[in-house]
Amino acid sequence: MVDREERIRRRAHEIWEREGRPQGREREHWDQAVQEIEAEGSEAERGPVVPDPTVGAGSDPARATPIPGANGKPKS
């Protein structure tokens, strides 16, 4: 696996190229790369979002738990 610093270096280079290779913005590109890499890490740590099997087109409304006040009537 590529270490963190190398990933940041590559991402900063990609950002620099995408922006037309401007001079004097190395720190800005590096900081942006750090933020993007850290955000990717946070997403990976959370893992994939697994849909709730009781919600959606495949759910059985007869088995759903009613929510008080959800049918437009006040809660009793």
pLDDT band with cut points at 50, 70 and 90 for residue 69: low
Q: What is the pLDDT of residue 42?
A: 78
Write out pLDDT tens, residues 45-64.
666 666 766 655 555 555 55
pTM of the model as a whole: 0.55
Largest Cα separation within the chain, whole Å, is 67
| Number of structural domains found in the chain | 1
pLDDT surpassing 60 at residue 18: yes
Q: What is the pLDDT of residue 41?
A: 82
Domain-embedded: residue 19: yes
55 closest CA partner among 45, 47, 65, 46? 65
- Separation CA 22–CA 65 (nearest Å): 58
Domain-embedded: residue 63: no
Write out the residue range of the structural domain in which residue 37 sits: 1-46
Two structure tokens written together for 29: 């590109």
